[in-house]
Structure 1
Amino acid sequence: MLLRPVRDSASDAAAVREVSTAAFAALDRSLGEEPGEPTPAAVAVSDIRTRHLAGTDPGGCWLAEEDGRPIGAALALRREGLWGLSLFCVVPEAQGKGVGRLLLDHAVAYGRGCLRGIVASSPDPRAARRYQAAGFKLHPTMELIGQVDRAALPDPGGIPVHLGDASHLALLDSVDRRARGGAHGPDHPVLLRTCDELLLVDTLTGSGYCYRREGRIVLLAATSRRLASRLLIEALARVPAGTEVRIARATAEQDWAVAVGLAGGLTLRNRGYLALRGMRPPAPYLPSSAYL
C-alpha cells in the first residue's frame, strides 16, 4: 500500500470521489438504505472541495493506493487554531486492514498544535470508535428531512435578512470566530461559488449568515439563537416548492433548529455524531460537512 498527499488535480479529485462513493454507498446499505446516485452538481461540489483543500492544506490531505487503485482518503484542514476533518473514508474491501488507522493518524498529525478539533462523523460505528480513541468527545447529532410547509413556519419576527456576497467576507469571519473559535477564511469564497445563496443578518445586537444549496442548509452561524432561527426560517422559506429539505449535524444545543424544522413539517431522526476536542458544541451553529 502507498500513502501519498492528495494533489490539486482533476485525477486526484476523481480518485477521492471514487473512494467516498464506494465507502458511503456501502454504509448506506449496511443501514438498510438505498444509496443515491450522485448528481452532476454533487460531483462538481465534491471535486471542488478536494482540490480546494489539496491547495490550502496539502499537509492534511492523504490518499491511500494499492496497485495503483485508490482505496482510502482523508482530507483535513487548519483554520486559526481549529483543526477539522472534512473527509475520511476507506473502500469496503480494504476496511479492517489498518488503512483507516494510518490515514487518520496522518490527518490528525496535521492538527498538531491546534487547540480545537471538529469532525462531522457518519453513523458508522467504526469511525466513531476511531474518533473517540483519538481523544474526541462524541456528541450525537440529528437531522431534519422532508418538504417544507411554508405556511406553518414560525413568524420571522421582523428581523431583515439580506443576500450576501464577497464584500461580506470580514463579517462572515467575525461570526465564525464567535461561533466556533476560528474563521473559515479561504473556504468562504468556495462556499459562495458552490451554494445557491448566502443569507445575512446584521443588526445592532448581532450578526449571522446561512449558506443554502437547493434544499440543504450547508452552513449556518450566528451570534444568537434568535438570529440563527431567523436565518433558518428564511432559508426554508426560500427552498423551491417540492424540493426535499435536509438540515443536518444538529446537536442537542441546536434545539432552536429542531423547533424551526419541526414547525415547518420536517421529520426528525438521529444521524451520526459531532466529534469535538478542546471545545463544546458550537451554538448557535450548523456545521458544514466539508469545511466544518
Structure 2
Amino acid sequence: MDSLHVRLMREGDLVSAERASALTFFDAEQSTRRVSDPEAEPRSAGASKQWIDRMRFFLSVDPGGCWVAVKEEAGEGGVVGFAVSQNRGDLWFLATYGVLPGHQARGVGKRLMDAALGHADGRPGIFSSSVHAGATRRYRLAGFSLHPQIRMVGTVDRSTLPAVHGLREGRADDFEWMDTLDQDLRVAGHGPDHGYMLGTMRLVVLRNRTRPGYVYIDDQGRASLLAAAHPATARKLLWEALASSRGSTLVNCITTPNEWAIDVGLAARLDIGQEGYIAVRGMPVPAPYLAGGHFL
C-alpha cells in the first residue's frame, strides 16, 4: 500500500516542509554546480525563518494552492515534497516546488504538480524553474514554455553608477497603480503580496503618468522584483538597486525580452551567466520586468 499521501498543507506542516525545501535545494545546487560557481551552502537560520513566514502568508491568502506529500505514518512531521502555488485574479503562479532526493522519480512530483495545476483552473501561469531534468520535463509536458534565464553576479564598480533622478520611496498608497502596471505586464496584479513585500523590503518607485515603475530591494541591496512601463524606467530602478548593494550582488531572472537589464549589469561590471528558466503558459514573458523569488 502507498504510504505517501498528497494533501493540502496545514500550518503545522511548515517546519517540516521548510526542512524538506532546504535539503532539496541544497542537493540540487550541489548536483548542478559548475566549476566556476561558489560552493553550495546550507540555508541559514534567517533564510529558513523567512521561508516559513512567506509560506504562512501564502497559506493565509490562498490555502487551496498549497500542497504537501507526507508519509502517512509520520503525520505532519513527515513532509517529503511540497508545491506552493497561488491564484491572483486571472493569474496562477508557482511559488516553490520540490521533492526530497530520496523520494524523486517515484511519481511524487507529478502528484504534487497535478494538485497545484488543478488549483490554477485554466488560468495563465508563470514561475521560475531550476535546471532539474525531471522537473523541467514535467513543466513542458504541462504546457509551459521554458525561457532561459540569465543572472548577473559580482561587485558593482561604483565608479559606473549614474545619477538617477525622479525616484522616491514607495508607500501603500502606490499599490493601486502598481497593480494596474502588473496587470499590463503579467495578466494580474500582485494584490496582497505588495503589502507583505513592503513589510519586508524597501520599495522604490517612479510615479510617472506614462512611464511608471517600481522595484523591491531586499536587505542585501538586491533587486527582488522590478516592473516598469518602459525600459528607460526599468534601467533607472535597477541602477538604484545596484547603488544599494553591499559587496557581491545578484541580478536574477533576466530573460531575452529584458536585455535592458543585461546592459545595465555589464555597465556595472557584473559577470553574466545562465541560470534556469522562466516558465509561462497562456501568457508572454513579462517585460520590462524582473520576476522576484516566491512572488514572481
Q: Are residue 290 (structure 1) and residue 294 (structure 2) matched?
A: yes
SS at match of 2:143: coil
TM-superposed CA distance for 1:159, in Å, is 3.6
Correspondence 1:101-112 to 2 at 5 A = 101-112=110-121
Partner of residue 280, structure 1: 284
SS at match of 1:211: strand
Residues 13 and 79 in structure 2, CA contact (< 8 A), matched pair in contact too: no
CA deviation digits over 1:186-242, x for unaligned, max 9?
1111111221x10100123221100011143210001111100110001111223x2
Greater shift after overlay, 144-153 or 271-280?
144-153
**Structure 1 residue corresponding to 2:274, chosen from 270, 276, 280:** 270
Partner of residue 250, structure 2: 246
Partner of residue 18, structure 2: 17
Aligned residue pairs: how many?
A: 284
Partner of residue 117, structure 1: 125
Residues 224 and 284 in structure 1, CA contact (< 8 A), matched pair in contact too: yes
**Structure 1 residue corresponding to 2:171, chosen from 165, 169, 177:** 165
Residues 45 and 194 in structure 1, CA contact (< 8 A), matched pair in contact too: no
Question: What is the distance in 1 between the residues matched to 2:5 and 2:67?
Answer: 10
Residues 222 and 242 in structure 2, CA contact (< 8 A), matched pair in contact too: no
Partner of residue 216, structure 1: 222
Q: Are residue 183 (structure 1) and residue 192 (structure 2) matched?
A: no
TM-superposed CA distance for 1:44, in Å, is 2.4
Residues 81 and 113 in structure 1, CA contact (< 8 A), matched pair in contact too: no
**Structure 1 residue corresponding to 2:101, chosen from 87, 92, 105:** 92
Unaligned runs of at least 5 residues, structure 1: none
Residues 9 and 67 in structure 2, CA contact (< 8 A), matched pair in contact too: yes
TM-superposed CA distance for 1:41, in Å, is 3.0
CA RMSD of aligned residues (A): 1.3
What amino acid maps onto 1:121 in structure 2? S
**Percent identity between the aligned chains?**
36
SS at match of 1:290: helix
TM-superposed CA distance for 1:282, in Å, is 0.4
Unaligned runs of at least 5 residues, structure 2: none
CA deviation digits over 1:164-189, x for unaligned, max 9?
12222112212211221210001111
1 or 2, which has the higher helix percentage?
A: 2
Question: What is the distance in 1 between the residues matched to 2:295 and 2:146?
Answer: 18
Residues 66 and 85 in structure 2, CA contact (< 8 A), matched pair in contact too: yes
Partner of residue 29, structure 1: 30
What amino acid maps onto 1:170 in structure 2? E
CA deviation digits over 1:91-110, x for unaligned, max 9?
00000001000000000010
Question: What is the distance in 1 between the residues matched to 2:117 and 2:158?
Answer: 42
Partner of residue 155, structure 2: 147
TM-superposed CA distance for 1:40, in Å, is 3.3
In the superposition, the TM-score normalised over structure 1's length comes to 0.93
Partner of residue 53, structure 2: 48
Question: What is the distance in 2 between the residues matched to 1:271 and 1:113?
Answer: 28
